[in-house]
């Protein structure tokens, strides 16, 4: 079992927004918080044309991409129909108010993709 890495506190993430986690290799990870204080982590890259999902607006368990307004599910990273495609999802936990990510996933998932486009 991996040692989970503390990223920040839940309250460090704006409600209905996100915080970006930079990685040495690969694109940034966006950690989202919704109005129920649920926290989700996705690659900060829209499956459409690479928009920065961390700059989108969270609603329910989805985020609206800031570039062309696709709706991306925070639980699976996938676009809602009729749009198609998924971005990489990262495991995420909250413990005692701390947000934790899996360091193995941070080091290995989606390390071959380009960074998000600017909005
Ligand atoms: S890049 Fe996200 S909707 Fe187009």
Instruction: Write down the H helix ranges in the chain.
Output: 103-108
**Which of 27, 44, 51 is the pocket-test mutation for ligand 1 (most atoms within 8 Å of CB)?**
51
Q: Give me the pLDDT at residue 15, please.
A: 97
pLDDT in tens, 33-64: 999 999 999 999 999 999 999 999 999 999 99
Strand ranges of the sheet holding 92-95, from the earlier edge strand across to the other edge:
5-9, 98-101, 92-95
pLDDT at residue 81 in the model = 96
List the chain residues with pLDDT less than 70. 1-2, 114-119
Query: Which protein residue has the closest C-alpha to ligand 1 atom 3?
Result: 68
- Domains of the chain by residue range: 5-108
| pLDDT the model gives residue 1 | 55
Highest CATH level, class, for 5-108: mainly beta
């Amino acid at each position: 079992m991996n040692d989970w890495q503390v990223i920040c506190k839940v309250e460090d993430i704006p409600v209905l927004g996100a915080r970006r986690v930079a990685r040495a290799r690969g694109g940034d990870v966006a950690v989202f918080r919704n109005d129920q204080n649920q926290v989700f982590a996705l690659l900060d890259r829209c499956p459409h044309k690479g928009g920065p999902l961390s700059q989108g607006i969270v609603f329910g368990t989805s985020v609206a991409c800031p570039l062309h307004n696709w709706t991306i599910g925070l639980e699976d990273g996938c676009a809602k129909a009729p749009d198609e495609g998924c971005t990489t999802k990262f495991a995420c936990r909250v413990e005692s108010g701390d947000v934790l990510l899996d360091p193995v996933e941070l080091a290995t998932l989606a390390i071959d993709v380009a960074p998000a486009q600017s909005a």
